[in-house]
């Protein structure tokens, strides 16, 4: 299970950098065409972020799957803690 957070952190970092790089590329192209830098950045955000959803679909799916696994394990741990706080014993507790 310790393998998932490592992959999640790596995938999330790569995904964020790729999305910002896409915005930067769009803004750079617009700047080269003669659009003012601030306007090019704003257009880059508006165009680049949705475009990233299409171009980086596989990476987006890996990040989403990693987040789902992490949330699942957190929910399981939270439910176990709540049952312990209520004084319930589970089969896992009696075997330990």
pLDDT in tens, 49-61: 889 989 999 999 9
Residue count of the chain: 96
Q: How far apart are CA 84 and CA 45, in angstroms?
A: 47
Q: How far apart are CA 27 and CA 21, in angstroms?
A: 10
Where do we find the tokens 């507790």? 93
Q: How far apart are CA 96 and CA 90, in angstroms?
A: 10
Reply yes or no on whether the pLDDT at 87 is more than 60. yes
Upper half-sphere CA count for residue 58 (Cβ side, 13 Å): 0
- Whether the pTM exceeds 0.75: the reply is no
Q: How far apart are CA 29 and CA 42, in angstroms?
A: 13
Quick: pLDDT tens for 7-66.
888 999 999 999 999 999 999 999 999 999 999 999 999 998 889 989 999 999 999 888
């Amino acid at each position: 299970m310790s393998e998932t957070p490592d992959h999640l952190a790596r995938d999330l970092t790569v995904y964020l950098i790729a999305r910002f790089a896409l915005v930067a590329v769009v803004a750079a192209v617009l700047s080269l065409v003669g659009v003012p830098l601030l306007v090019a950045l704003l257009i880059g955000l508006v165009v680049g972020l949705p475009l990233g959803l299409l171009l980086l679909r596989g990476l987006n799916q890996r990040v989403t799957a990693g987040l789902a696994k992490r949330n699942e394990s957190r929910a399981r741990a939270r439910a176990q803690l709540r049952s312990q706080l209520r004084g319930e014993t589970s089969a896992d507790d009696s075997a330990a």
